[in-house]
């Protein structure tokens, strides 16, 4: 029953590669490339298991539901409003294991669709549902499973890369963090763990941006700073999402966002998503990956340097080989990697660029999300009430975030 966790077989590549600031080749490639591709890409499906095609429907009012060229049954279902002009088509490789994985993703996507009846729905949960990408339809074309989605913009990762890894503006860190927590809270309430939260899987609905030329950047090589106009996002890639009652594979998540309990093989559930959100918030604020490594032992050493010592009971409960019987990490401070970790990692709050009350709130939340013991870690629904994310808990004198999610 190892079904949809096929992507986790690439997790341990590049062990011997020196960690680099943001070498994208190191970042986990799933079977789903989200590169927009021209329609003829269907011919070159062997590059990856999936290709994303921008499918344009004819604009104008004639497509308001009468799609009679579809052979009677309308593939999109009769929707009252016309479909948006652009849709994204995810085409899966015609290979058994990828087809299997796609079926699992479709199962989750069906599960998170809007319910038929709208009574007794929780407002917070529904807001979170809208932030998860909506599948419009799927079909099997000669063995290629094709999934139709709303068209979205660049990922939060690609936008930051395009911006030369300059961090997001503080209010955008909050806006993205709030929506991400809301979306994941919805999944958790529905007994689902996403397991692969990372900046690549968070997409802007519209990635149009303004260019700023700050005066204080005269010394820096990068003279311009891109600011997205609307930080509304969608969470994507449910190919690794796992239901509570389903088999939980041993290794989940992309390396940099993988929770301590997963590395220590102590079992995992919803809290492992919260750990990933903590890593993501840090990355949006600083522009750097918190744990830039490809090795478990080094990863744990980085955690201890940034977050403090792993609790004795977790270290001793773990059957892995990283700790001695007293619960101390077996680690040579004076080796080259020991030196690398000491030089490149600092205790968490050293990464704050200034100490405003808002930034203290952010780092307090990151700290709570990166609590080692999963059962003591903050939950998504608690995080939504944390001062960093909860508008109501901040004083009225403070500037409120100037955005509202445009669903």
What secondary structure letter does DSSP report for 191? T
Chain centre to alpha carbon of residue 39? 27
Residues 6+ apart with CB under 8 A from 207: 153, 154, 159, 228
Which long-range CB contacts under 8 A does 287-292 form with residues at least 24 apart?
287/160, 287/165, 287/166, 287/167, 288/21, 288/22, 288/165, 289/21, 289/22, 289/256, 290/256, 291/255, 291/256, 292/19, 292/20, 292/21, 292/22, 292/26, 292/256, 292/344
Q: What is the number of alpha carbons within 13 Å of residue 296 lying toward its C-beta?
A: 16
Question: Exposed e or buried b for every residue in 368-380, given b needs 16+ CB within 10 A?
Answer: bbbbbebeebbbb
Residue 258 neighbours by CB distance under 10 Å: 25
CB 341 within 8 A of CB 298: yes
Rounded-to-integer distance, Cα 264 and Cα 320, Å: 6
Which DSSP letter does residue 377 get? Answer: S
The pairing of strands 144-150 and 135-141 is: antiparallel
Question: What backbone torsions phi and psi does residue 40 show, to the nearest 5 degrees?
Answer: -70, 0
73 counts as catalytic: no
Q: Which two tokens stand for residue 194?
A: 């996403």
C-beta of residue 301 within 8 angstroms of C-beta of residue 263: no
Of the candidates 73, 119, 196, 273, the residue annotated as catalytic is 196
Active-site residue set: 196
């Amino acid at each position: 029953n190892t079904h949809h966790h096929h992507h986790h077989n690439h997790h341990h590549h590049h062990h011997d590669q020196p960690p680099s600031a943001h070498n994208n080749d190191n970042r986990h490639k799933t079977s789903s490339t989200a590169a927009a591709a021209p329609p003829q890409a269907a011919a070159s499906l062997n590059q990856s298991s999936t290709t994303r095609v921008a499918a344009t429907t004819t604009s104008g009012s004639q497509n308001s539901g009468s799609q009679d060229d579809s052979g009677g049954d309308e593939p999109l279902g009769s929707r009252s409003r016309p479909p948006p002009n652009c849709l994204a088509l995810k085409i899966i490789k015609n290979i058994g294991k990828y087809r299997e994985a796609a079926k699992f993703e479709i199962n989750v996507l069906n599960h998170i669709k809007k319910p038929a009846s709208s009574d007794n729905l929780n407002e917070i949960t529904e807001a979170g549902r809208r932030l998860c990408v909506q599948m419009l339809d799927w079909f099997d074309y000669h063995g290629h499973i094709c999934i139709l989605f709303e068209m979205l913009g660049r990922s939060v990762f690609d936008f930051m890369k395009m911006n030369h890894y300059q961090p997001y503006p503080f209010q955008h860190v909050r806006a993205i963090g709030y929506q991400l927590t809301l979306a994941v809270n919805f999944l958790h309430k529905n007994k689902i763990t996403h397991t692969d939260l990372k900046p690549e899987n968070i997409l802007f609905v519209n990635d149009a941006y303004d260019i700023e030329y700050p005066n204080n950047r005269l010394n820096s090589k990068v003279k311009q700073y891109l600011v997205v106009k609307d930080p509304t996002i969608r969470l994507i890639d449910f190919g690794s999402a796992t239901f509570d009652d389903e088999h939980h594979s041993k290794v989940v998540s992309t390396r940099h966002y993988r929770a301590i309990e997963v590395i220590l093989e102590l079992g995992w559930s919803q809290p492992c998503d919260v750990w990933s959100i903590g890593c993501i918030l840090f990355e949006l604020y600083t522009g750097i990956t918190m744990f830039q490594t490809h090795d478990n032992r080094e990863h744990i050493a980085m955690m201890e340097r940034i977050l403090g010592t792993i609790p004795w009971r977790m270290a001793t409960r773990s059957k892995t080989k990283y700790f001695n019987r007293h619960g101390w990490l077996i680690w040579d401070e004076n080796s080259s990697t020991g030196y690398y970790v000491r030089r490149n990692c600092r205790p968490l709050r050293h990464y704050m660029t200034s100490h405003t009350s808002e930034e203290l709130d952010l780092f307090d939340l990151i700290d709570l999300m990166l609590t080692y013991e999963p059962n003591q870690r903050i939950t998504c629904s608690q995080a939504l009430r944390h001062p960093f994310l909860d508008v109501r808990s901040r004083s009225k004198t403070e500037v409120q975030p100037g955005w509202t999610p445009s669903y």
